[in-house]
Amino acid sequence: MASEHQAIERWVYSTLSGDATLLSLVANMPNGTDPAIYAGRLAPSQTEYPAVAFDIPQMDDINAQGHRHQCHAMLMVYSFSNGEIPPYGVANRIEQLLHQAKAVSEGYTLVCERVGENVRTNVDGSRIFRHLVTEYRVMLAVPQS
């Protein structure tokens, strides 16, 4: 069985990359064929925008009577643009896909909910990059043996 981290990452990637509406809103990777959705890392410098990246920076176990029952994961989803306007359409579509989603991935049952969002601005020379960072909580039931 895959690790909890892998199960969440694979579910998020398949959910985002499998949605035709989201794919119509994001650019392609530099190879020109795959959508610009990056799991577990930031988008490379040659990325076309808008793009999406996500990461799982923290996971906490929920234990009772010596048994691990759940994992709660913090999921950070970054929606990038290369202009002064953040990619609200991309972030809104991702919220429609992930907030209150229930799924089974790699044998784990999981539930996802949106926790918060903020806007960030980066400047690289004369280029302005705006992005939205949306935090989700993923609760994952750990199968008991």
pLDDT digits (tens, 9 = 90+) for 20-60: 999 999 988 777 778 889 998 777 777 888 999 999 999 88
Q: Which helix (H) or strand (E) holds 137?
A: strand 127-141
* Average pLDDT over all residues of the chain: 88
CA distance 121 to 130: 5
Find the radius of gyration of the CA atoms of the chain.
Answer: 16
Query: At 110, which amino acid appears?
Result: L
Pull the structure tokens for residue 21.
């509406």
Q: Answer whether residue 129 shows pLDDT above 90.
A: no
Token representation of residue 49:
């925008």
Residue written as tokens 């949306």?
134
pLDDT at 2 over 90: no
pLDDT at 115 over 90: yes
Alpha carbon distance 123, 10 (integer Å)? 32
Give the rounded percent of residues in the chain with a pLDDT score beyond 90: 50
Return the pLDDT at 69.
77
Confidence (pLDDT) at 145: 63
- The tally of domains found in the chain comes to 1
- The pTM of this model reads 0.89
Comparing 54-58, 64-68, 99-103, 131-135, the range with the smallest average pLDDT is 64-68
Q: Which residue range is the domain that position 120 belongs to? A: 4-141
CATH code for position 23: 3.30.2000.30
The DSSP letter of residue 95 is H
Give, in degrees to the nearest 5, the angle at Cα 124 between 44 and 16.
Answer: 35
What is residue 42's DSSP assignment?
Answer: P
| The residue to which tokens 């790699």 are assigned | 106
| The pLDDT of residue 12 | 96
- Which contiguous run of DSSP H or E holds residue 139? strand 127-141
* Angle separating helix axes 4-17 and 88-98, nearest 10 degrees: 120
Angstrom distance (rounded) from CA 10 to CA 106:
9
> Which percentage of the chain shows pLDDT scores above 70?
97
Tell me the pLDDT tens digit for each residue of 78-103: 998 887 788 999 999 999 999 999 99
pLDDT value of residue 27: 87
